[in-house]
């Protein structure tokens, strides 16, 4: 918020944030960020939660404590403190069905990479490599060296591509074995 100018160290800023999901409005929140006294800085959130089952709307006001650290290169790095755990975090979350903003750990939210099944990891790595090379995504799709890429870099990536292709083949073979029983 500091980087975007939505909060200002040494001052008070208020505003409203909006977000969308699939191009449709999905939510909004009002905030007041009081950073006039850095050692007692707070972020006040005002938001409404609608229960899908009943359509009942409830308005919430939540205060989040702010603090900062001083990086080696100077300046200040601002942090929020989770209202539930007190943990210093860069982001707070309020997932579907939630009624407060809290840390990822409190809500037990995992990263997307943590939710990928072990058998799918070689495919994901292969698709990332294909994207880096500017090629069509898919198992056993041809690859090519993009214009401007060093030959040595491409040779290293091509070697990795064939390793991943072999891992994908092994995973597919294992899946077929399980299916055939």
Cβ atoms of residues 33 and 7 within 8 Å: yes
pLDDT tens by residue, 24-67: 887 789 999 999 998 999 999 999 887 777 888 889 999 999 99
pTM over 0.95: no
Spatial separation of the C-alpha atoms in residues 155 and 157, rounded to whole Å:
5
Q: Which one-letter DSSP state was computed for residue 12?
A: E
């Amino acid at each position: 918020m500091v980087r975007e100018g939505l909060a200002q160290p040494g001052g008070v800023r208020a505003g409203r944030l909006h977000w969308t999901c699939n191009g449709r409005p999905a939510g909004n929140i009002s905030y007041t960020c009081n950073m006039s006294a850095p050692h007692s800085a707070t972020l006040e959130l005002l938001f409404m939660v609608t229960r899908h089952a009943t359509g009942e709307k409830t308005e919430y006001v939540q205060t989040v404590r702010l603090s900062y650290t001083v990086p080696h290169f100077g300046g200040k790095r601002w942090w929020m403190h989770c209202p539930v755990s007190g943990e210093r975090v860069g982001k707070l979350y309020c997932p579907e069905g939630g009624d407060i903003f809290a840390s990822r750990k409190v809500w037990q939210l995992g990263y997307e990479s943590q939710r990928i099944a072990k058998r799918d990891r070689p495919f994901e790595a292969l698709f990332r490599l294909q994207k880096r090379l500017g090629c069509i995504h898919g198992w056993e799709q041809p690859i090519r060296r993009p214009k401007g890429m060093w030959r040595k870099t491409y040779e290293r990536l091509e070697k990795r591509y064939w390793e991943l292709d072999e891992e994908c083949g092994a995973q597919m073979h294992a899946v077929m074995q399980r299916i055939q029983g």
